[in-house]
Amino acid sequence: MTYVYAFEEGNKDLKDLLGGKGANLAEMTNLGLPVPPGFTITTEACRAYLHDKRFPDGLADEIEARLIALEERIGRRLGDAADPLLVSVRSGAKFSMPGMMETVLNVGLNDESVEGLAAHGGARFAWDSYRRLIQMFGATVCEVPAGYFGDALDKAKHQKGTRNDLDLDADDLRALVGVYKKIFEEHTGRRFPQDPREQLNLAIRAVFDSWNADRAALYRRQERIPADLGTAVNVVAMVFGNLGPDSGTGVAFTRDPGTGAQGVYGDYLANAQGEDVVAGIRNTVPLQDLESIDKASYDQLLGIMATLEDHYRDLCDIEFTIERGKLWMLQTRVGKRTAAAAFTIAAQLVDEGVIDLDEAIRRVSGAQLGQLMFPRFDLSGTHRELTRAVGASPGAAVGTVVFDAARAIELAGQGESVILVRRETNPDDLGGMIAAQGILTSRGGKTSHAAVVARGMGKTCVCGADELEIERGAFTVRGTRVAEGDTISIDGTTGRVYLGEVPVEPSSVVRYFEGAPVSEDPLVRAVDRLMRHADSRRSLRVRSNADTGADAARARRFGAEGIGLCRTEHMFLGDRRELVEKLILAEGQPAREAALAALLPLQRADFVELFRAMDGLPVTVRLIDPPLHEFLPSLTDLAVRVAVAGERGEDVGREKELLTAVQRMHEQNPMLGLRGVRLGLVVPGLFAMQVRAIAEAAVEVARAGGSARPEIMVPLVGAVQELETVRAEAEKILTEVIGDSGVRVVIGTMIEVPRAALTAGQIAEAAEFFSFGTNDLTQMGWGFSRDDVEGAFFWRYLELGIFGISPFESLDRDGVGRLVRIASEEGRAARPGLKLGVCGEHGGDPDSVHFFHEVGLDYVSCSPFRVPIARLEAGRAAV
Ligand code: ADP
Ligand code: MG
Ligand code: MG
């Protein structure tokens, strides 16, 4: 087995084996670009090492052989006292992963070779390089707290009366090396290793070990990166950007990763090494300035950037170093970018003939589109950033700061917009989280309680703002004190927190979906282009969940091709509650019929509105689903009211009656109780009234020249007999109402009870369509109540990796997905052409949409705002 590859032997497609960095260094080498020579130790070697806690047989010999070859090629030996070869040791997994050991530069320097290096590059340069080695080696290989080195450096600068590290001369740096060595000894109990090969060895092991560091493991769980990939290690001959003013180091992007605009983007820092550019030790200059500093290198760099874009056919980001006027490439990869840049660049590359439209829609995602649809802060004016943390749930929220849930509820009740600030949240904070406009915590990441619950509620949340010091009634951040009652603005997409009110601007992409003309804005043009293509490719249709004419009209503007779920219970709220109460309290047939008769015209009018908004498109109406007591006052409230009124000797006749009804209908597990089709079978006339209202509305719309296409959907069916009973009654009414009006009404069922999925073959006999209610199917499939578990223990399940994402957010393919698959196959086997859709929240979730495409459903249905996301993902699933 080969454990070590020279850069000449690899290529960009070997990321599994060589890691991202190694594979791309190999690719650049083979493109003929100036990459310092080096080699990559494979992820396989790492896996073997982690398994046996020692280098696998042969690895040490291979490393030695590669090192000798490198020495021969360069003509210097590692750590040679007279003229040393130095190397960097760099980690590089398949996916770039913060939390792993990063890089040790200048490996090979010791008390002797530093003099050899000085003889060639000058004493200042040599001692600067040595102190960097001790610092990086100490911090990353031996876990000496980095602060100690930083403090010593600051002290040296302070003594010299400067803030600029360049003012430290050779003697200062030599003295600093002495201090660093002491720090090293104090913390490790040993001297700084002087043997170059031992340095190399320890650094390689440290990279391997860092794969299992807590921070890396946590990051993998959050990002759903498999835990067993291992990391590669790159050993690269050093080139020096800290040799003087004609040297330097920089980063560059082939396009603006913020907007996608073309041009030269990057930063350069003269007389500097490695991390200095991003560490902010001195001010960098814009990359354009390199043109006047070193024109030859600048031109060469631009040429290389063009080559790389051409080769990778995408935005690349680059690290480079200039050593005395000679340019070296140290890293490239397909660059990360914002959502806006992703769309703009994909469309640009199509225009440039680099990629086709199929490829373009593969390169953007529904999640990115979703980000573009949130309102954003308009940062063009002055604003003051307080801190940056984890953007856990997107959106832009502005409000007064409050520190406890009760206060949040109180102020929100007075119409104020509040931001709930907590160290972390727990289930007791739920009420306050609901009341708040946004949530800010100082602890916890994307899977903390606050983050999970906020995403579930679609509420803006920033978490893990560890610079915040929260005391009673105020927090302090970087010296600024923010007290209860002060206003802040939080951005759940970028994780930034601002002092005061930052103006919010609506999204240009939403305006476009709302029907605004395609403007000159490159982003809107890109979105338009890619959406059209996605629509032309997808086989899944996209409908919307909507209960009112207004919602339906909006959904239609967003591209919905019908309604997949109209919840009729929403039509029983408000001032209609009283009618429902009458229905529930009705004793005997006449009273009940009177109540139903009063509800009929109201429902009919609702349906007319809906059918008009969706003229010509199918509208799935679900018959009433929740338990009836949801329409009655709460048991405790009512009991208290009756008791108080009774004491005062007031007339409590009606209230008492209500109380008895509520008590009678009280259920331990209402979600598993008298609801859905069960209600329809128990309360005479209820479903019949709804069916009649639907049919009459459809006829009314048809008579007026419109086209209504109602689909009646029966909820919570678990057995075909339930559906047959409802169907028989409904068909009688339909025949009677529809007559010769030409209206066609179909009857189908939800598949949301596991038993329904497992007996789908039988149920299909009585259903013209299935709609998967994946919320309930998840709830009943897992046996946990959605309303209770997300705040109670999901954070723990996510932490433990029991699932990587809440199964209510993204469909659990293995379990709930299997039920969907079985029901689809058996349903269609029994009734060829059976129409299949989904109407749970998952209909708008990107991953789930791909699954529904694979299973071969006809449509997904989701909330109006998610319709564009589902359209895009359905297109992506099809290419
Ligand atoms: P990261 O993944 O954190 O960027 P890198 O391995 O890329 O870590 O290295 C950190 C810094 O050191 C980068 O600026 C890189 O360009 C620089 N660097 C790495 N290897 C060398 C080398 N052989 N010569 C000069 N600079 C190097
Ligand atoms: Mg790098
Ligand atoms: Mg349901």
Concatenate the DSSP letters of all residues of 754-817 into one string.
HHHHHTHHHHGGG-SEEEE-HHHHHHHHHT--HHHHHHHTHHHHHHHTS-SS-TTTS--TTTHH
**Does 567 appear as a known binding residue?**
yes
pLDDT at 706: 96
- Reduced to 3 states (helix: H, G, I; strand: E, B; else coil), residue 603 is helix
DSSP state of 404: S
Which residue lies with its CA nearest to atom 26 of ligand 1?
274
115-172 tens-digit pLDDT: 999 999 999 999 999 999 999 999 999 999 989 999 999 999 999 999 888 899 999 9
CATH of domain 248-334: 3.30.470.20
* Cα angle for residues 139, 142, 143 (degrees, 5° grid): 55
**Mutation test of ligand 1: which of 89, 96, 103, 326 has the most ligand atoms closer than 8 Å to its C-beta?**
103
* Ligand 3 (single-atom ion) residues, CB below 5 Å: 752, 773, 776
Distance, in Å, from the CA atom of 822 to the CA atom of 349, rounded to the nearest integer, reads 42
Query: Does ligand 1 come within 6 angstroms of the Cβ of 231?
Result: no
CA distances from 526 to 334, 479, 867 (A): 20, 43, 18
User: Pairing relation of β-strands 316-323 and 384-388?
Assistant: unpaired
- The radius of gyration of the chain's CA atoms, rounded to the nearest angstrom, is 33
Query: Does ligand 1 come within 6 angstroms of the Cβ of 106?
Result: no
Distance 244 CA to ligand 2 centre (A): 22
757-796 tens-digit pLDDT: 999 999 999 999 999 999 999 999 999 987 778 778 888 8
pLDDT at 447: 66
Supply the pTM of this predicted model.
0.83
Q: Give yes or no for a contact between 868 and 558, defined as CB atoms under 8 angstroms apart.
A: yes
Q: Give yes or no for a contact between 249 and 318, defined as CB atoms under 8 angstroms apart.
A: no
Strand order, beta sheet including 38-41: 4-6, 38-41, 231-237, 87-93, 103-107
Residues involved in catalysis: 449, 839
**Does 622 appear as a known binding residue?**
yes
Phi-psi region of 769 (alpha: psi -120 to 50; beta: other; left: phi over 0): beta
| Tally of CA atoms within 13 A in the half-sphere of 834 that contains its CB | 28
Distance 563 CA to ligand 3 centre (A): 16
* Cα angle for residues 840, 845, 848 (degrees, 5° grid): 80
Residue ranges of domains in the chain: 4-237, 248-334, 375-506, 538-627+667-878, 631-666
Distance 273 CA to ligand 1 centre (A): 9
- Smallest CA-to-CA distance from 255 within 526, 508, 518, 36 is with 526
- Reduced to 3 states (helix: H, G, I; strand: E, B; else coil), residue 270 is strand
Which residue lies with its CA nearest to atom 20 of ligand 1?
88
Distance 716 CA to ligand 3 centre (A): 6
pLDDT at 222: 65
Which residue bears the tokens 């209820």? Answer: 686
| Tally of CA atoms within 13 A in the half-sphere of 472 that contains its CB | 0
Distance, in Å, from the CA atom of 407 to the CA atom of 428, rounded to the nearest integer, reads 13
**Does 378 appear as a known binding residue?**
no
**Does 362 appear as a known binding residue?**
no
Distance 331 CA to ligand 2 centre (A): 6
Domain 538-627+667-878 has CATH 3.40.50.2300: no
728-744 tens-digit pLDDT: 999 999 999 999 999 99
DSSP class per residue in 429-492: GHHHHHHSSEEEESS--TTSHHHHHHHHHT-EEEE--TT-EEETTEEEETTEEEETT-EEEEET
Query: Does ligand 1 come within 6 angstroms of the Cβ of 330?
Result: yes
What is the greatest pairwise CA distance in the chain? 108
**154: its two tokens:** 């600051």
User: Which stretches in the chain have pLDDT values below 50?
Assistant: none
State the angle between helix axes of 59-74 and 43-52 in degrees (0 to 180), rounded to the nearest 10. Answer: 140
**Does 382 appear as a known binding residue?**
no
Query: Does ligand 1 come within 6 angstroms of the Cβ of 210?
Result: no
- Residue 541 pairs with which residues in a beta bridge? 859
pLDDT at 113: 97
Which residue lies with its CA nearest to atom 18 of ligand 1?
274
Helices (H), 683-743: 686-703, 720-738
Distance, in Å, from the CA atom of 464 to the CA atom of 450, rounded to the nearest integer, reads 10
- Reduced to 3 states (helix: H, G, I; strand: E, B; else coil), residue 616 is coil
Which residue lies with its CA nearest to atom 9 of ligand 1?
103
Ligand 1 nearest atom to the CA of residue 36, by list position: 23
Q: Give yes or no for a contact between 561 and 861, defined as CB atoms under 8 angstroms apart.
A: no
User: Pairing relation of β-strands 746-751 and 709-714?
Assistant: parallel
pLDDT at 570: 77
Which residue lies with its CA nearest to atom 13 of ligand 1?
274
Query: Does ligand 1 come within 6 angstroms of the Cβ of 236?
Result: yes
List CB contacts of 614: < 8 A, sequence separation 6 or more: 552, 556, 562, 563, 709
Q: For residue 323, which phi and psi values (nearest 5 degrees)?
A: -110, 110
Query: Does ligand 1 come within 6 angstroms of the Cβ of 321?
Result: yes
* Cα angle for residues 462, 468, 473 (degrees, 5° grid): 100
Query: Does ligand 1 come within 6 angstroms of the Cβ of 36?
Result: yes
State the angle between helix axes of 339-351 and 366-373 in degrees (0 to 180), rounded to the nearest 10. Answer: 120
402-449 tens-digit pLDDT: 999 999 999 999 999 999 999 988 877 888 998 999 999 998 877 678
Q: Which fold has domain 4-237?
A: Dna Ligase; domain 1 (3.30.1490)
Helices (H), 224-365: 276-279, 290-293, 295-312, 339-351, 357-362
Which residue bears the tokens 């997409």? Answer: 493
Distance 776 CA to ligand 3 centre (A): 5
**Does 773 appear as a known binding residue?**
yes
CATH class entry, domain 375-506: alpha beta
- Reduced to 3 states (helix: H, G, I; strand: E, B; else coil), residue 38 is strand
* Cα angle for residues 131, 135, 138 (degrees, 5° grid): 135
Q: How many of the other CB atoms lie within 10 Å of CB of 688?
A: 17
